[in-house]
Homo-oligomer: A and B are copies of this chain.
Amino acid sequence: MSDKETSIEQAKFQPICMKQRAMAQAKTWILRHHFDGFPKDSDFELKVEQIPEPKDGEILLEAVFLSVDPYMRPYSRARMKEGDVMIGTQVAKVIQSKNPGFPVGSHVVSRHGWRTLTLSDGAEIRKLSGWPQDCPMSLALGAIGMPGLTALYGLEEVCQLRAGETLLVNAAAGAVGTVVGQIAKIKGCRVVGCAGTDAKVSYLKDLGFDHVFNYKTITSLEEALKAAAPDGYDCYFDNVGGSFSSVAIPQMKLFGRIAVCGGISLYNDTTPQTGPFLQLQMVFKQLKMEGFLVGRWEHKNEESLPRLISWMKEGKLKCKEHVTTGFENMPAAFMGMLKGDNIGKAVVKV
């Protein structure tokens, strides 16, 4: 950000800051009840929290964009208790600062959850100081953030995808899937994707996916997967799990690699779903299946984010967002994303 921009931001900031001083109140979304099956409105509660003045070393952050992601559903039980603020990442602006590392008007990515204002000591936040001017900051929550890195590491570190290979990706129109397919194309691979609406299928074809189908309107997933890649799949980037995978895994080639990124078909189960055991497929095709979380390669992010940005600037990585406006609509945006309403990254603009 240029000095000029900073000064504009500071100029704009003065009156807001005065208001904040008078009545610094954060809106937060609380996990009222642990989800039981698919989340519902009554599982969430909007609360107001008084925010004290920043002390030395502290900053006050104002959310600009908030992320809603599939992982929040399974993590809600693993990492939260009832009454906690919903977990999540946001792009925020520094609106008060007693920390010279974070000037007023600068932007950060923070992991402070579903809240409009956050008092922070600067830990667990990442500055967006080198962010390209022509790139929307919301992309720091999507293709140039956690979902983009997830796609990159899943393909490079887990699948070890090589040029000329055939890749299958499901939930392909989602925040991660859209990037997976595009990176695989950049790497010279053949990409088969599936998604749940014709509009998504059409968008993915526009992105350059080689073969895309709507898994909700086909008569046989097995036949559709075979038709799309008669010789089978070298790699399978799995965002869905469950019975989709039980059909997909037998379509792998010898020595196929399966990157298990998520299991959106399983997150809302109240009783565990079951399917055929896959061990014999694993043995006789010598398949490798690996689950992963993006944080494992955090030490590589500094070199990976510029790669994603370059691809975007070269027009090889297109980024679509599904924007919901209004902090009060966060639960609806989250539930909509779980239902697959979004094409590309689902974000909430405050």
Q: Does any Cβ of B come within 8 Å of A133's Cβ?
A: no
Digitize A254-269: 1 where CB-to-B-CB distance is under 8 Å, 0 elsewhere: 0000001111001100
A177 to B341, CA, bound (A): 50
Asked if A263 and B289 make an inter-chain contact with CB atoms under 8 angstroms apart, the answer reads no
- Nearest residue (CB) in B for A273 is B277
A262 contacts B283, C-beta separation under 8 Å:
yes
Chain B residues with CB below 8 A from A42, complex form = none
Q: Select from chain B the residue with minimum beta-carbon distance to A262.
A: B283
CA distance A78 to B277 in the complex (A): 18
Contact with B along A293-316 (1 / 0, CB 8 A): 100100000000000000000000
A274-298 residues at the B interface, CB under 8 angstroms: 274-277, 279-293, 296
CB neighbours (8 Å) of A88 from chain B are: none
B275 & A281 in contact (Cβ 8 Å cutoff): no
The residues of B that contact A273 with a CB separation of less than 8 Å are 276-277
Does B289 contact A290, Cβ atoms closer than 8 Å?
yes
CB contacts (< 8 Å) of A275 on chain B: these are 274-275, 277
Q: From known contacts A274-B274, A274-B275, A275-B274, infer whether A266 and B280 are also in contact, taking CB-CB under 8 Å.
A: yes
A274 to B, closest residue via Cβ: B274
Inter-chain contacts of A243 with B (CB < 8 A): 277
Chain A interface mostly = mixed
Nearest B residue to A261, CB-CB: B283
Partner of A291, one of B246, B263, B283: B283
Residues of B contacting A284 in the complex (Cβ-Cβ under 8 angstroms)? 74, 78, 291, 293
A241 interfacial by beta-carbon distance below 8 Å: yes
Most chain B beta-carbon neighbours within 10 Å: one of A282, A284, A287, A296: A282
Q: Judge whether A245 is part of the interface by a CB distance below 8 angstroms.
A: yes
Q: How far is the CB of A330 from chain B (nearest CB, A)?
A: 24
In the bound complex, residues from chain B placing their C-beta under 8 Å from that of A54 are: none
A62 interface contact, C-beta 8 A: no
Is A272 interfacial (CB-CB < 8 Å)? Answer: yes
A238–B273 Cα distance when bound, in Å, is 23
A266 surroundings in chain B (CB, below 8 A): 277, 279-280
Check A340 for interface membership: any CB of B closer than 8 A: no
A196 at interface (Cβ–Cβ under 8 A)? no
Chain B residues whose CB sits within 8 angstroms of the CB of A263 once the complex forms? 277, 279-280, 283
The 3 A-B residue pairs with the shortest CB-CB distance in the complex, in nearest-first order: A282-B291, A241-B279, A283-B291
List 24 A–B pairs whose Cβ atoms lie within 8 Å, in order of A's numbering: A74-B280, A238-B279, A241-B277, A241-B280, A243-B277, A246-B277, A260-B279, A260-B283, A263-B280, A266-B277, A266-B279, A266-B280, A267-B280, A272-B276, A273-B277, A274-B276, A274-B277, A275-B275, A282-B290, A282-B291, A283-B293, A286-B296, A287-B290, A288-B290
The residues of A with any CB-CB pair to B shorter than 8 Å are: 74, 78, 238, 241-243, 245-246, 260-263, 266-267, 272-277, 279-293, 296
Q: A281-B291, A285-B291 are in contact. List 8 more A-B contacts (CB 8 A).
A: A241-B279, A242-B277, A260-B283, A272-B276, A274-B276, A286-B290, A287-B291, A289-B289
